[in-house]
Structure 1
């Protein structure tokens, strides 16, 4: 299994970075994971702005040369892992900008004459590891599960990825947030997960 980790948080002395380290550690100890790539969007200085106009059409984004490296990473990976905080009930703008530009027509999906497109990223699995200040059940009870619906149904399923797992960790700024227990849970998962 080839695993691509996309990390989206600007601070390397943060709990999100600690989660990234546990994901990496678990992956490196997992004999089912042959190769591992890590994309740190902030370190990469990724430009999240989606730009198109009369000279750069949205329908041609799948062949934007600036995104070729990232398209190759996505094509290469069997498993995608996203590590990010939940801000205002959704992923950070940096990650959404990556998604806007990479999950483009004729690369991630193809329009058909039917109701739904053909997903072109079939067979890949996805794991989202996300943290938030509020309680763990906040997105479910207050936001009608908007984060999971956005990521799973509106994005991953749309492009053909059906195997999606979430780790949504709440109360992460609380002294009673059980941070070490949650870090270990992530580590144990990636140490054993098989494609």
Structure 2
């Protein structure tokens, strides 16, 4: 099994639309060679794993910007009278692996459960992905080294 690693920070990805990029958005086009590269890689992707911290109860802005800029209309989805219809039949599974200062139960019960409800069961469900999951290492700032190692072993098994 082969993996492509997309490191948005190392790639210096900018998840903000410029005026010229935004004008191409409705056409499903881009001028950004990095976005084009990501799109090409994702067209053949069967499994997508996001690994990131939870920031303010959701995925970081760079991850949201990645989705906004890369998953383009007429390429990854079509917009119709009944809303969005995904065009990613090859993508079978999306997993989100996160860490957070807040305990997971707190994110789910008191902060709206945004990663599951919006990111996975909103965005990626609309894109047609049937298998979607989220695993969080909550309360990470108060965990022991042993608990951190145990979590990393769990993540290794997931991947």
- Is TM more than 0.5 here? yes
- Structure 2 residue 67 is the aligned partner of structure 1 residue 71: no
- Structure 2 residue 5 is the aligned partner of structure 1 residue 46: no
Q: CA 1:133/1:56 → structure 2, altered by over 3 Å: closer, same or farther? A: same
In structure 2, the residue matched to 1:6 is: none
In structure 1, the residue matched to 2:84 is: 117
Runs of 4+ in 1 over 3 A off after TM superposition: 52-55
SS state at 1:149 partner: helix
Q: CA 1:51/1:188 → structure 2, altered by over 3 Å: closer, same or farther? A: same
CA distance in 1, matches of 2:137, 2:114: 15
CA distance in 1, matches of 2:24, 2:41: 23
SS state at 2:43 partner: helix
Match of 2:69 among 79, 90, 101: 101
Q: CA 1:57/1:142 → structure 2, altered by over 3 Å: closer, same or farther? A: same
Matches within 5 A, 1:141-160: 141-160=109-128
CA distance in 2, matches of 1:118, 1:55: 21
Q: CA 1:55/1:72 → structure 2, altered by over 3 Å: closer, same or farther? A: closer
Number of residue equivalences: 155
CA distance in 2, matches of 1:40, 1:100: 16
Q: CA 1:52/1:109 → structure 2, altered by over 3 Å: closer, same or farther? A: farther
In structure 1, the residue matched to 2:155 is: 186
Determine which structure has greater relative contact order: mean sequence separation of CA pairs < 8 Å that are 6+ residues apart, divided by chain length.
Answer: 1
Quote the offset at 1:123 in angstroms. Answer: 4.0
Q: CA 1:70/1:176 → structure 2, altered by over 3 Å: closer, same or farther? A: same
Question: What stretches of structure 2 of length at least 5 have no aligned partner?
Answer: none
Question: What stretches of structure 1 of length at least 5 have no aligned partner?
Answer: 1-32, 191-195
> What is the TM-score of this pair, normalised by structure 1?
0.73
Give the conservation status (yes or no) of the 8 Å contact 1:48–1:94. yes
Q: CA 1:184/1:63 → structure 2, altered by over 3 Å: closer, same or farther? A: same
